[in-house]
Structure 1
Amino acid sequence: MLKRFLTVFGLILLYMLALASADLMIVLLAGKNDTLIRIMVVVTLVFSVATMVPYMDWVAKKVFRFNGEGKPVSEAELRAQIQTINQFDVPVMIEERKGKLVATWKYVDAHWRELLSKAGLTKVYELHIKFDHAQHLVTLIDVTKSVSWGAGPTELRLRWSFFRGIMLTYEIGKQWGIKESWKLGQVYDYKFRPKEVKMPIMNSILRSGWDVRFGIW
């Protein structure tokens, strides 16, 4: 894991050095032309803002990638396996949105909604699951949205302020699949942390022969 973090740090540093080198070249080529320097600095700044997120997405997908085990199952079988979570009495639900699956807390259920509210959650976690059938590859994206709990049993408002990226907390192991983590009728002491949603799904995907990578988009 340390090696992955060092790789990310190195690639980010390389990106920053490239931008700094570009600024230095602009100053050297422009000479004493202050107007040209200002224009080129603005252009460089706009370029850095426009490319930073795509670059970070590329870095994440290259560095935080994990290989699946064995022969890949079909996409339909993998989707069905993930969606079996909806059959368990757990605080997690799977929704289908625009061709991808989204795992999140079961706040639409009155029982779990009450527990989520009492737990003091101020953010709702979502795990976006995107499938690439050709490569047998799943991209996982961590999303958190601010939430406010109303007084009524169904009053909940998701705000537009959110985080989209990678929460680098995971444990890979055969014992942490969907079936092992969420057995029907078994009682768990839920902490309502993102890894309680992410880890069973991620490890089940890997055990189904599909690769997993983390991304921003």
Structure 2
Amino acid sequence: MGFFDKLTGTKYPDSGVAPLPTMEVRAALLALNDTGVPFGVRNAHPAEEADLVAQWRVMEPAVGSALSRKQLERTLKIRMRLVPGTREVRTLDEQWTVTWAGDSPRRAVSREYGRGPVPMVSKEWTYERGPDGRRRKVETFSFDTRDMKNPLRNAVLDAGWTWRGVLFRL
């Protein structure tokens, strides 16, 4: 595994794992929808230039009050192309962040777009008193891209295929 593989997040299956046919890999990825994961896997539209797409949209809790209220909407999309000749799934990660503002968030005040395998973790905590009277930290919100990528990657690796991250084109 070289430097470029580490940069793109490329992972290889364990030796001795017999590669499954393409349709079984596709079925294994689509079957993730029935396992209670927080994202959806679907067949891609022709404009998406992929075979399958996994997408997760999350609204973070709003902060502020009245007119100063802001809320973040994060969308993570992983486009996957199955390449039977080399038995690899080429993946391209895309992230969008939109900041909504207002009492009932309607107006987008900023938008960001990113591409490539960038891990993103967002967590929020509050402090509350426990039964013993001590303050303790309680997690109220969590968004971690590994919660999406790990089940997809594991399904591909368990099928004996390579998970290859790309930076520009599938």
CA distance in 1, matches of 2:91, 2:143: 19
User: 2:45 matched to 1:94?
Assistant: no
Normalising by structure 1, report the TM-score. 0.50
1:72 to 19, 41, 48: 19
Structure with max Cα Rg: 1
Aligned to 1:195: 146
Bigger relative CO (Cα 8 Å, ≥ 6 apart): 2
Match of 1:135 among 86, 100, 122: 86
Instruction: Note the 1:1-217 alignment, pairs <5 A.
Output: 4=2, 7=3, 59=4, 64-69=9-14, 70-97=17-44, 98=46, 99-105=50-56, 107=57, 116-118=59-61, 121-148=72-99, 151=104, 161-167=112-118, 191-216=142-167, 217=169
Identity of aligned residues (%): 21
SS of structure 1 residue aligned to 2:114: strand
Alignment coverage as a number of residue pairs: 132
Structure 2 stretches of 5 or more lacking a match?
63-70, 121-139
Q: Secondary structure at 1:141's aligned position in 2?
A: strand
Instruction: Tell me the CA shift for residue 124 of structure 1.
Output: 1.1
Q: Flag the structure with higher helix content.
A: 1
Matching residue's letter, 2:20: V
Counterpart amino acid of residue 166 in structure 1: P
What RMSD, in angstroms, separates the aligned Cα atoms of the two structures?
Answer: 3.4
Normalising by structure 2, we get a TM-score of: 0.61
Runs in 1 of length 4+ with deviation above 6 angstroms? Answer: none
CA contact (8 A) 2:41 2:55 kept: yes
CA distance in 1, matches of 2:41, 2:55: 7
> Structure 1 117/64 Cα, relative in aligned 2: closer, same or farther at 3 Å?
closer
Would you say the 8 A contact 1:61–1:215 is kept in 2?
no
Amino acid at match of 1:194: T
Distance between the aligned counterparts of 2:36 and 2:119, measured in 1? 27
Distance 1:95 1:63, change over 3 A: closer
